[in-house]
């Protein structure tokens, strides 16, 4: 079982490839586990890759992945909680890390947009003056 205290979840970027490469080395002798892990990895990647999506297809991919990650009621074979259990990850620990990562990403993006908007307004004022 993987001890979550040994897995660091950096807020600035929870790199799916780094996190999943670590787990891949420890878990995969059975084809079923590889399939389950592919589903798990794809969902987390969809969540991270599409968090700032602007087109409807990518927004839907993000929403579906987030819904799957946040669903604590499902006990299906491919549910987030079940797959976390199979791979020795505490579901709530990873869920909280992903939600913190999302909040930081959205905050950084909003802050950057506000800075860019203020810069454009100042340039217009300077040009007009």
In a domain, 129, yes or no: no
For 38, the enclosing helix (H) or strand (E) is helix 31-49
Residue numbers of the domain that contains 47 = 4-103
What length is written for the chain? 129
Distance CA 71, CA 49 (A): 20
Residue 12 has pLDDT above 70, yes or no: no
Which position has the token pair 């797959």?
83
In a domain, 125, yes or no: no
What is the rounded average pLDDT of the residues 121-127?
53
In a domain, 114, yes or no: no
What is the rounded average pLDDT of the residues 99-128?
69
Mean pLDDT of all residues belonging to the chain: 80
For 117, the enclosing helix (H) or strand (E) is helix 91-128
| Residue 4 DSSP label | G
Six-digit token string for 38 = 């592919």
Contact 62, 50 (CB under 8 A): yes
Closest CA to 66 of 35, 99, 29, 39: 99
Looking at the structure of the chain, the number of domains it has is 1
In a domain, 110, yes or no: no
Q: What is the pTM of this model?
A: 0.68
In a domain, 118, yes or no: no
């Amino acid at each position: 079982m993987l001890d979550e205290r040994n897995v660091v979840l950096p807020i600035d970027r929870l790199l799916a490839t780094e996190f999943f490469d670590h787990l891949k080395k420890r878990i995969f002798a059975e084809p079923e586990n590889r399939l389950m892990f592919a589903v798990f990895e794809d969902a987390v990647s969809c969540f991270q890759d599409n968090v700032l999506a602007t087109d409807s297809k990518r927004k839907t991919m993000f929403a579906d992945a987030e819904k799957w990650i946040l669903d604590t009621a499902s006990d299906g074979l491919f549910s987030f909680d079940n797959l976390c259990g199979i791979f020795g990850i505490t579901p709530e620990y990873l869920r909280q890390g992903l939600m913190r990562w999302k909040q930081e990403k959205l905050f950084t993006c909003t802050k950057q947009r506000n800075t860019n908007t203020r810069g454009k307004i100042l340039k217009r004022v300077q040009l007009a003056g």
